[in-house]
Amino acid sequence: MELETYKKLDYKETLSYLYSQLPMYQRVGPVAFKKDLSNTLRLCEKLSEPQKKFKSVHIAGTNGKGSVAHMLAGILQTAGYKTGLYTSPHLKDFRERIKINGKEISEDEVVEFVEQNSVHFESIKPSFFEMTVVMAFNHFAKHKVDIAIVETGLGGRFDSTNILEPILSVITNIGLDHTKMLGDTLEQIAFEKAGIIKQEVPVVVGESSQDTKKVFEEKAKNMNSELIYAGISYVVKSIKENTTGILLDLEKGHEQYKELTIGLRGRYQIKNSLTVLQAIEVLQNLDFEIERADVYDGLLNFPILTGLQGRWQIIQESPMVICDCAHNAEALTVVFEQVSNLKFDSLRIVLGTVDDKDIKPLISVLPKEARYYWCEANIPRALNKEFLQKSAKEYSLDGDVYSSVNEAFMQAKNDADTHDLVLITGSSFIVAEVLTLM
């Protein structure tokens, strides 16, 4: 599809242009991943360097970076800061990627950005992600945000967002994911993620191992950056759950948090919250006025404040239906730990994934007692559902294949009794298609 510059496109037509004209990693996979920041820099140069006109926190990591980004944004919004938020991928609408104080960029602004920069797109030929990143930075600069929370798309070192000059870098954790692009060892992947560490900019690391610690420490030393490990800073004294979320009692030295509530059910968010608390402490040291009450209110209300979806999201109570975007072995392991804390009769799992990863580690953590509904999202990058079923049978996992995510989901719901649990997981694209039905 060519951009018809003589004709004013509507929002739907603009998205069609973006999706068809420009490579999009989320849809087509590794072919769209570029180890080069030059296009993003050139496009920003044409727009008078918007990335230099606002303060930012830059977040990378294998799992949890989206949740951490939303938590931080929720606390900063609560503290009164005009807060930009850039995350990816979107679940239902492209505009979810770019928000200010929880409000999505308008359809008109998306159309206007593409119209005004069509000449630059034609000459520079940016990827979908490069264009989207610059759209976000331009939006934040135009609306004069106080701070923007920016999540990397993939990796860190060559991610389009890495043209930022942040005041704080955050790395949530390192796992074996996207190995075709980032490397097949923890050290190699840590090296790519550590690429967001900038000269004399503090970095908070949520979780680390002996394999990754040395990578972070060497990079931080070379950049003269303060390195802070969140996981060893706070001691969790107690954990409770209610219908609102998770209640924590925490200690850090003489400082205590009593019944700090994370506004999501899903115990894997505990580690994310510790990373967020450490990041907030750094921001306070950088003269951001964030009160204890802001932390409490922001963590409690962040899903509503920022519009977070797809993380242990309960979309139906009887039978219980839960969506979670976990898409690799590490993330699925903690999801199934959470599942083990629930009471139900039968577990029914609607699952699909993508074809650019080693699926054996993912399949190996799936519970054998569940009934599976194998499917594939409506994207070129989706893993063939018959191949998924065949691979799963080698691990004694039982299930049928379905022609669409919708069919798999509806069959799982129809098969479920009142006290069963239906879990939709394996890919954000599977979750997105289910949420679009709701």
Q: What is the CATH number of the domain that holds 269?
A: 3.40.1190.10
Confidence at residue 6, expressed as pLDDT on a 0 to 100 scale: 41
Domain boundary among 258, 285, 306: 306
- Residue 26, pLDDT > 70, answer no
Per the structure, how many domains does the chain have?
A: 2
> Average per-residue pLDDT in the chain?
91
Q: Read off the pLDDT of residues 369-416 as tens digits, 9 standing for 90 and up.
A: 999 999 999 988 899 999 999 999 999 999 999 999 999 999 999 999
Confidence at residue 65, expressed as pLDDT on a 0 to 100 scale: 94
Same domain, yes or no, for 278 and 374?
Answer: no
Q: Kindly calculate the radius of gyration of the chain based on its CA atoms and give it in whole angstroms.
A: 21
Same domain, yes or no, for 299 and 340?
Answer: no
Same domain, yes or no, for 245 and 135?
Answer: yes
Same domain, yes or no, for 329 and 200?
Answer: no
Same domain, yes or no, for 243 and 362?
Answer: no
- Residue 322, pLDDT > 80, answer yes
Q: What is the CATH number of the domain that holds 410?
A: 3.90.190.20
Same domain, yes or no, for 142 and 16?
Answer: yes
Q: Which domain holds residue 381?
A: 313-437
Same domain, yes or no, for 341 and 202?
Answer: no
- Residue 228, pLDDT > 70, answer yes
Among the listed residues 430, 425, 407, 435, the one whose alpha carbon sits nearest the alpha carbon of residue 362: 425
64 CB-contact burial (10 Å; exposed 0-12 / middle 13-18 / buried 19+): buried
**3 assigned to some structural domain:** no
Residue 380 has a CB neighbour count (10 Å cut-off) of 12
Same domain, yes or no, for 117 and 258?
Answer: yes
Owner of token pair 């296009």: 39
Calpha distance 115→131 (Å, rounded): 13
**335 assigned to some structural domain:** yes
Calpha distance 236→280 (Å, rounded): 17
Domain boundary among 264, 284, 306: 306
**413 assigned to some structural domain:** yes
**390 assigned to some structural domain:** yes
Same domain, yes or no, for 405 and 265?
Answer: no
Same domain, yes or no, for 409 and 261?
Answer: no
Mean pLDDT of the region 235-242:
90
Q: Are 370 and 348 in contact (CB under 8 A)?
A: yes
| Lowest-confidence region among 135-144, 192-201, 429-438 | 429-438
Domain boundary among 280, 306, 332: 306
Same domain, yes or no, for 301 and 318?
Answer: no
Angle at 173 between CA 239 and CA 129, to 5 degrees: 120
**1 assigned to some structural domain:** no
Q: Read off the pLDDT of residues 172-210 as tens digits, 9 standing for 90 and up.
A: 988 765 555 565 688 888 999 999 999 999 999 998 888
What does the block give as tokens for 370?
């569940």
